[in-house]
Amino acid sequence: MSLALTAVDDGAGLPASYDIRVAPAPLDWGSATGVSLGSCAAPVTATAVGSTISCDVLGLLPATAYEFQAVAFRGTLDVDAVFGDLSNVAAATTTSTQPGTVQDLAVSGTTDSTATLTFTEVNNGKGLVASYDVRFAVAPLDWGSANVVEAARSHTLRRERHFVVKGRRSRICLPLTTCYSVETSPLLRL
């Protein structure tokens, strides 16, 4: 969920910092929780009074009506913060409960016993990066009977996910003359 607000003065001539709270509707400031995941986690800061601050709230439940409220402050939260008035309440409902679909899966390299896969990460349906179920088989791939990749090393490079798939030669064996199909399926983790 993306939020935007206009930066105000902190009462001392500098841009204020912000504590943003979220709750399923209706929001009550005293019982609402501070945003803890995403760029809206406190303290949210601005570079100049009057600038637009945009930030994201992650980890929300799908298909849920949420309300958001902010308070400007100067100083340090839970130490010496001086607060302004509470903002208006903004409302929105999250949508998708299904993870995104990997659209650009590619085998970017092979050896006699490994295949390196590359694809762009997708959302897990809750605003976070998905986990993946990776499977392989001699083409054509039948998802239900395909081998599940159990030994994989994964790293992220500029929002692309790279897997190096390794296995016993007798199970995976990737000679250059054999075509293997590999598929990924994002997992919805609740």
Tens digits of per-residue pLDDT, 69-119? Answer: 999 999 999 999 999 999 999 999 987 667 778 787 878 777 777 777 777
For Cα atoms 186, 187, 190, give the angle at the middle one, nearest 5 degrees: 145
* Token pair 């990460």: residue: 121
Burial class (CB in 10 A: 0-12, 13-18, 19+), 76: exposed
Residue type, position 28, single letter: D
Domain at 106-187, CATH from 2.40.128, 1.10.287, 2.60.40, 3.30.300: 2.60.40
**Distance (Å, whole) CA 19 – CA 85:** 12
Tell me the Cα Rg of the chain: 23
- Residue pLDDT, tens place only, 161-179: 444 443 322 223 333 333 3
Whether 81 and 75 have beta carbons less than 8 Å apart is answered as yes
Half-sphere CA count of 172, side-chain side, radius 13 A: 22
3-state secondary structure of 180: strand
β-strands 180-187, 131-138 pairing: antiparallel
| Between residues 91 and 183, the one the model is more confident about | 91
Closest residue by Cα to residue 65 from 22, 100, 21, 111: 22
Q: Mean pLDDT of all residues in the chain?
A: 77
CA dist 125 and 190 (Å) reads 10
Q: What is the share, in percent, of the chain residues with pLDDT greater than 90?
A: 45
Please report how many Cα atoms fall inside a 13 Å half-sphere around the Cα of residue 87, on the Cβ side.
21
Distance separating alpha carbons of residues 165 and 112, to the nearest angstrom: 12
pLDDT at 126 over 60: yes
Helix, strand, coil % in the chain, rounded to nearest 5: 0, 45, 55
